[in-house]
Structure 1
């Protein structure tokens, strides 16, 4: 019997690989000879670096960079040695969680630190990048990142504009003679799960600005400045397209990557599935196991477990999912490729008890064991051994 696990992290409880190993333990209790392949899974957001490092023989790098509000922060990113691919979560350098609610202000927040992380990875030999751009505190159109990589965003006096969205107010010209030479050799796979354009009523300022601390008066100003920035960029870089879906992601980071680098935007789960070659493992599996911390209607809207399930159904595989908890509307997952799902909490417990890593691993292994016993009943006379 061949089983593949591709489980998203149970955030605050188990990493993707820890969850997969717990499933493997439960499987082996029932099917000692089973081949269980534990594969990493993430959706491009929080946990992507850990999942790909742990699951693909990667290494962790720690670099001190400029945080969203100018203070130094330590950012962890990964390098997959086999392909020299850097895996970066934008939130590690410019994330909304790096500041208190009272500090949030998109006029001041910069993506400069993201550019510093990229520069550090280039210096270590990376030319391929997976960049998750969720959870940002910024609305600067990615200009800070580009400044760190050597682009000039200049005011009327030829000086670099201030960092943060407020700097765009004074933007007059864009230069690229001092761009890091190796940048032209780099390709970026940008994990982007939103389709917002850069500007307008569905743009980043209007839709995401308020959660980043924008007041009602800031929003039209930032939108106007980003519009001028996009127009200026179009004059110099013909591929600039502020209406392209996803250009408004992470306060305009989608626009920056597409316009100024060799980049593609794609759903995070698609990038991770491709990078980990999950297709190769699923096509030869008998059962596919996926899951995440909470299974609900949002899961069915395209989160990581559904990405796995849809891939598995391409090969007509049985898909089982485990979760820390499920909601009544999680039944929508059954309509999207998950044949059956199971919560793993096995008794009355506090949230802290349920999320304890040791408890969660044990609960997941025990629940898996019982599901596998049901699988075993389906194949009488040891027929399962032929799988």
Structure 2
């Protein structure tokens, strides 16, 4: 029996590697001689750098930089074993978790600290840089990223603007003369799972600003500031980013890198699954594919890991008979919706009515238990079809 385990992290409980190993332990408890392979996976948001570093056989690197409000912080980034590829999460230096200890200041929040991480990746010789956009605390259109890479944002008097999206209203000129010498030589990839434009009712400020501390007036100001930023970017590079889908992600961070460095936006989960080597493992065939995350709901089958894994299985002829089963802390999706997405069943790790703190504490054991039960069922049935008749909604 061959089983591929591709489980996302259970936030607050298990990393993607820990979750995968727990599920694998359950598989081996049911079928000791099973061929089990664990593929660390993520959807391009928080946890992606750790996932890819694991897949690359390397460890995350730490850099002292600044958080979204300009305070010193330690942030991490990943590098492949050959040094050719690097992965940076905007959430590591410029994310909401790093500034939750103080009142959020939406107009001042900056991606400058993440720019320093990107510069470190270039200094280390990376030829391809992946920036993961989830979890940012910023709405500066990626202006801080460029400053961290050596650019200057100047007002009408030739003075440098302070950090933050709120200062962009006074932007007169973007000076790229000091940009990192390797910035234009590498391939820039942006992991993005939304299609929001930069401006307007569906844009960066209006949709994501409130969760970053922006009130009604702040949203209006930041939207106007991003419009000014887009105008200066177009004046400088000739690229109009205002109509591009996805540029509104992470407070408009893609705008800077798309206009200045020709960065490409890509769906996060398929990108990471490919980098982690899932297609190669599936090409060897599987009887059972276990995937999952902390909460399995409608979003799970709309571009997240569960959706990506199911799609990858369906696209691989060697896995035509494989059962795809989700293991999650919480299951809040109908069996019919799962079936539409190519998932055969979903099981919660909760043994009954449970407190979240208890599930988090015992997540590894509970995940292993459920994986063991699923594997016993599939192995006893002699294949995957039986699983489709025992869909479970917790």
Shift in Å, 1:256: 1.2
Task: State the 1:220 CA deviation.
Answer: 2.3
Listed one character per residue, the Cα deviations across residues 227-270 of structure 1 (whole Å, up to 9, x for unaligned) are 12212211221233211001111111011121112411112102
Question: What's the C-alpha RMSD, in Å, of the aligned pairs?
Answer: 1.8
Residues 275, 83 of structure 1: alpha-carbon distance in 2 compared, 3 angstrom cutoff: farther
Q: Which residue of 2 aligns with 1:5?
A: 5
In structure 1, how many angstroms separate the alpha carbons of the residues matched to 2:335 and 2:209?
A: 30
Aligned pair 1:361/2:336, yes or no? no
Q: Which residue of 1 aligns with 2:306?
A: 305
Q: 1:375 aligns with which of 378, 384, 392?
A: 378
- Which residue pairs with 1:384 in the alignment? none
Contact 1:146–1:256 (CA under 8 A) maintained in structure 2: yes
Q: Which moved more, 1:189-198 or 1:17-26?
A: 17-26
In structure 2, the residue matched to 1:30 is 30
- Aligned 1:21-100 pairs, distance under 5 A: 21-82=21-82, 84-100=84-100
Q: Classify the secondary structure of the residue corresponding to 2:28.
A: helix
Q: What residue number does 2:345 align with? A: 340
Give 1:93 deviation, angstroms.
0.9
SS of 1:131's equivalent in the other structure is strand
Residue of structure 2 equivalent to 1:115: 115
Give the aligned length. 378
CA contact (8 A) 1:17 1:55 kept: no
Tell me by how many angstroms 1:330 deviates.
Answer: 6.3
**SS of corresponding position for 2:113:** helix
Residue 322 (str. 1) matches residue 323 (str. 2): no
Partner Cα separation in structure 2 for residue 137 and residue 361 of structure 1 = 31
- Following TM superposition, where does structure 1 have runs of at least 4 consecutive aligned residues deviating by more than 6 angstroms? none
Give, in angstroms, the shift of residue 281 of structure 1: 1.0
| Aligned residue runs from structure 1 range 133-282, under 5 A | 133-282=133-282
Which is further off, 269-278 or 49-58? 49-58
* Structure-2 separation of matches of 1:45 and 1:328: 22
TM-score, normalised to structure 2, is 0.91
Partner Cα distance (1:4, 1:83) in 2: 28
- Contact in 2 for aligned 1:106/1:140 (Cα 8 Å): no
The CA distance in 1 between the partners of 2:189 and 2:116, in whole Å, is 18
For residues 5-41 of structure 1, give each alpha carbon's deviation from its aligned partner in whole angstroms, at most 9, with x where no partner exists. 1110111111111121122222222322221111011
Aligned partner of 1:295 in structure 2 is 296
Q: 1:315-344 CA deviation, whole Å, 9 max, x = no partner?
A: 223211111121254652222011112112
Aligned-partner Cα distance in 2 for 1:364–1:148: 42
The more displaced of 112-121 and 15-24 is 15-24
Instruction: Quote the Cα distance in structure 2 between the aligned partners of 1:28 and 1:88.
Output: 34
Matched residue of 1:355: which SS?
helix
- 1:124-169: CA deviation from partner (whole Å, max 9, x where unpaired): 2222222111111111111111011111211112122111112211
**1:271 CA displacement:** 1.3
Structure 1 residues 157 and 290: alpha-carbon distance in aligned structure 2, compared to 1, 3 A threshold: same
Alignment TM-score, normalising by the size of structure 1: 0.93
Offset of residue 295 of structure 1: 1.1
Unaligned 5+ segments in structure 2 are 384-394
Structure 1 unpaired stretches of 5+: 381-387
Provide the C-alpha distance between the structure 2 equivalents of 1:244 and 1:101, rounded to a whole number of angstroms.
34
